[in-house]
Chains A and B, each alone.
Chain A
Amino acid sequence: MDRIPALAMPMLGRPAANALTDGYWAAARDRRLVVQECSDCGAHRHPPTAVCYRCGSRRWGWGEVSGGGSVFTYVWIDSPMHESLAAIVPYNVCVIELDGTQGDPVRLVSNVIGVDRDTLRIGLPVQVGFAAVDNGALMLPVFRLLDTV
């Protein structure tokens, strides 16, 4: 999948290590998008939790998804809440609904890169890419409009 060399978003922190979420970030370093998949009923879920909301199972693994999806909703953040964000406003934060998952819809918070306020709309198809942070020590899943990939 696409690798996006420079990230506009100045991350204020780094994800803390955690048994539930480390696999997500490890897969992203390999430029793969994964979500939790129940080993018993197959329902996908995100963000990670210890138990399946559908069948109650505590057994789970990582299910790789295509990285395709659509814009479910978005907001343009015009007022920076931190000085480090002042240079990049306005930026969007989107909720992306992923294609090809089982169970309740699986949605991720992310940024859609390379889009302006007149173009971004609910329902537009998007594809995941990975933005390198800290020289690639962290790869952050972000999205681009499908017709610009």
Chain B
Amino acid sequence: MRNDVAVVGVGHTTYGKRGELAERGTFALATEAIAAACADAGIAPRDVDGYSGFADEAIQPAALATAFGAPRLRYAGMVWGGGGGGVVGALVNASMAIVTGHADYVVVHRALCMEGESGRFGQQMLHTAASGRLAPAAAFSASYGLFTPAQVFGLATRRHMHLYGTTIDHFAEVAINARLMAATNPHARFRDPITMRDHHDSRLIADPMRLLDCCMESDGAAAVVLTSAQRARDLRRPAVLLRAAVMGSPYRYGSLGAPESDYASSGQRQVGEDLFRQADVRPDEIDAAMIYDHFTPMVLMALEDYGFCAKGEAGPFVAEGNLRIGGSLPTNTHGGHLAESYIHGMTHIIEAVHQLRGTARNQVAQANLVAVCGAGGVSPTSGCILERAR
């Protein structure tokens, strides 16, 4: 499968705060992003014969194929579970469909109106609890006031601080870096720089996490088009090849019974090991990383799980400036979820494509290999390495 499949088109709508685009609706946003990605690739939306979803995507492939007048729909697949952890898993499924001849052009998309149709992504458990009836499994956590991702991930984060001496200064560097990157991105929602003091002064959400450790729910849509590397040669843009893409999680990850070392992690160790083995490259050969930054500590733990630094050393690694332009691993060069928008990892794939085409606003010189890491803290998660075509 190595380099047999390419990302050939990327597209997105404008991004807004939660609820800002609600009147347009997710279906209209999805079709706009998909049409933009197809135009970027130089194909018509009706040429798309496969859709690969994640995070329980509500917009049905059949509805999209019908709307675009596609002569045929040949593939409709979904990553099972894991929310935003499945974003790159959707590329895994798309690539399997393409190399096995089940589809020629596969779209991966995400469209969100966070107030209304798609609801607030992190609050399903709270809404269920407030209805008065706790599902049997949820009763063991919701009864104690534990509802949201920030709270749940705060538990793993606290453990990481205890074991390795990670500090809120280290969290802050992830947020500061995101704002610096977003300063050059006209699509970004948060372009003003922040300081360490701004971070520390932001209100506590779930101690140890503060407001500026959390990404902001966003409305918008983003899409990418994949096809075979062979077909990609005849398309409009330089192909960006999928060198390797994997999904998974380690033993019992996401449960209370996870082994201690993986409990204080983002659950991406298995994916990291499989990814670099499949790609046959080393972490230090990666030129830039796009890491799902729903919460700053999850970025730190992802750096460790993917082997960009040793276990427990992500704090010092980011404090040395390694995430910044000019650092050893420029990260989230578009501003990420913390500063650009929160479209569940899709924007990270788009930015990796820009880096490898040489069209990024914060371009990394001679970027040949870029890693995209799906959401940590969930199971399954997923990751890929994209490569510039030679």
Closest to A14 in B: B134
The dominant DSSP class at the B interface is mixed
Query: How far is it, in angstroms, between the C-alpha of A1 and the C-alpha of B353 when the chains are bound?
Result: 60
Contact A75 B208 (CB under 8 A): yes
Interface string of A96-116 (1 = CB under 8 A from B): 000000001111111100000
Contact A9 B145 (CB under 8 A): yes
Contact A15 B143 (CB under 8 A): yes
A38-57 residues with Cβ-Cβ distance < 8 A to B are: 45-48, 53
Interface string of B97-135 (1 = CB under 8 A from A): 000000000000000000000000001001011111111
Interface string of A34-76 (1 = CB under 8 A from B): 0000000000011110000100000000000000000011111
Contact A109 B133 (CB under 8 A): no
B251-272 residues with Cβ-Cβ distance < 8 A to A are: 252, 256-257, 259-260, 263
Which of A75, A91, A111, A142 is close to B158, meaning CB atoms less than 8 Å apart?
Answer: A75
Instruction: Please tell me if B141 contacts chain A, counting CB pairs below 8 Å.
Output: yes
Instruction: Please tell me if A78 contacts chain B, counting CB pairs below 8 Å.
Output: yes
Contact A104 B252 (CB under 8 A): yes
Contact B206 A76 (CB under 8 A): yes
Give the distance to chain B from A128, nearest Cβ to Cβ, in Å. Answer: 13
Instruction: Please tell me if A81 contacts chain B, counting CB pairs below 8 Å.
Output: yes
Q: How many residues of B contact A (CB 8 A)?
A: 42
Closest to B154 in A: A75
Query: How far is it, in angstroms, between the C-alpha of A21 and the C-alpha of B135 when the chains are bound?
Result: 10
Contact B146 A93 (CB under 8 A): yes
Give the distance to chain B from A87, nearest Cβ to Cβ, in Å. Answer: 12
Which of B142, B205, B257 is close to A13, meaning CB atoms less than 8 Å apart?
Answer: B142
Query: How far is it, in angstroms, between the C-alpha of A110 and the C-alpha of B143 when the chains are bound?
Result: 8
Most buried by A among B129, B132, B145: B145
Contact A53 B136 (CB under 8 A): no
Instruction: Please tell me if B184 contacts chain A, counting CB pairs below 8 Å.
Output: no
Instruction: Please tell me if A146 contacts chain B, counting CB pairs below 8 Å.
Output: no
Closest to B163 in A: A122
Closest to B160 in A: A73
Contact A77 B206 (CB under 8 A): yes
Which of B144, B156, B162 is close to A109, meaning CB atoms less than 8 Å apart?
Answer: B144
Query: How far is it, in angstroms, between the C-alpha of A122 and the C-alpha of B155 when the chains are bound?
Result: 11
Contact A46 B126 (CB under 8 A): no
A108 and B256 in contact, given A13-B142, A20-B136, A76-B206 (Cβ under 8 angstroms):
yes
A75 and B155 in contact, given A45-B257, A109-B256, A122-B162 (Cβ under 8 angstroms):
yes
A1-23 residues with Cβ-Cβ distance < 8 A to B are: 9, 11-16, 18, 20-21
A9 and B143 in contact, given A14-B133, A47-B256, A107-B256 (Cβ under 8 angstroms):
yes
Which of B128, B131, B134 is close to A15, meaning CB atoms less than 8 Å apart?
Answer: B134
Which of B128, B135, B151, B263 is close to A75, meaning CB atoms less than 8 Å apart?
Answer: B151
A13 and B133 in contact, given A73-B155, A78-B203, A95-B256 (Cβ under 8 angstroms):
yes
Which of B142, B145, B148, B162 is close to A111, meaning CB atoms less than 8 Å apart?
Answer: B145
Contact B162 A13 (CB under 8 A): no
Q: How many residues of A contact B (CB 8 A)?
A: 43
Instruction: Report chain A residues within 8 Å CB of B259.
Output: 104
Query: How far is it, in angstroms, between the C-alpha of A45 and the C-alpha of B255 when the chains are bound?
Result: 11
A86-142 residues with Cβ-Cβ distance < 8 A to B are: 88, 90-91, 93, 95, 104-111, 117, 122, 140, 142
Query: How far is it, in angstroms, between the C-alpha of A79 and the C-alpha of B151 when the chains are bound?
Result: 10
Give the distance to chain A from B135, nearest Cβ to Cβ, in Å. Answer: 6
Instruction: Please tell me if B204 contacts chain A, counting CB pairs below 8 Å.
Output: yes
Instruction: Report chain A residues within 8 Å CB of B137.
Output: 21, 47
Instruction: Please tell me if B200 contacts chain A, counting CB pairs below 8 Å.
Output: no
A13 and B159 in contact, given A47-B256, A76-B204, A140-B143 (Cβ under 8 angstroms):
no
Give the distance to chain A from B299, nearest Cβ to Cβ, in Å. Answer: 18
Instruction: Report chain B residues within 8 Å CB of A106.
Output: 256-257
Give the distance to chain A from B126, nearest Cβ to Cβ, in Å. Answer: 5
Closest to A122 in B: B162
B42-62 residues with Cβ-Cβ distance < 8 A to A are: none
Given contacts A78-B207, A104-B259, 13 further A-B contacts (CB under 8 A): A12-B142, A13-B132, A13-B134, A13-B142, A13-B143, A16-B136, A16-B139, A46-B256, A74-B158, A76-B207, A78-B203, A82-B147, A93-B141
Q: Which 4 residue pairs spanning A and B have beta carbons closest together?
A: A15-B139, A18-B136, A75-B154, A78-B204
Question: Which residues of B are in contact with A by a Cβ distance under 8 Å?
Answer: 123, 126, 128-137, 139-148, 151, 154-156, 158-159, 162, 203-209, 252, 256-257, 259-260, 263
Can you list 13 contacts pairing A with B, beta carbon distance less than 8 Å? A13-B128, A21-B139, A47-B140, A72-B159, A73-B155, A73-B162, A79-B206, A93-B144, A93-B146, A105-B260, A106-B257, A109-B140, A140-B143
Question: Which residues of A are in contact with B by a Cβ distance under 8 Å?
Answer: 9, 11-16, 18, 20-21, 45-48, 53, 72-79, 81-82, 85, 88, 90-91, 93, 95, 104-111, 117, 122, 140, 142
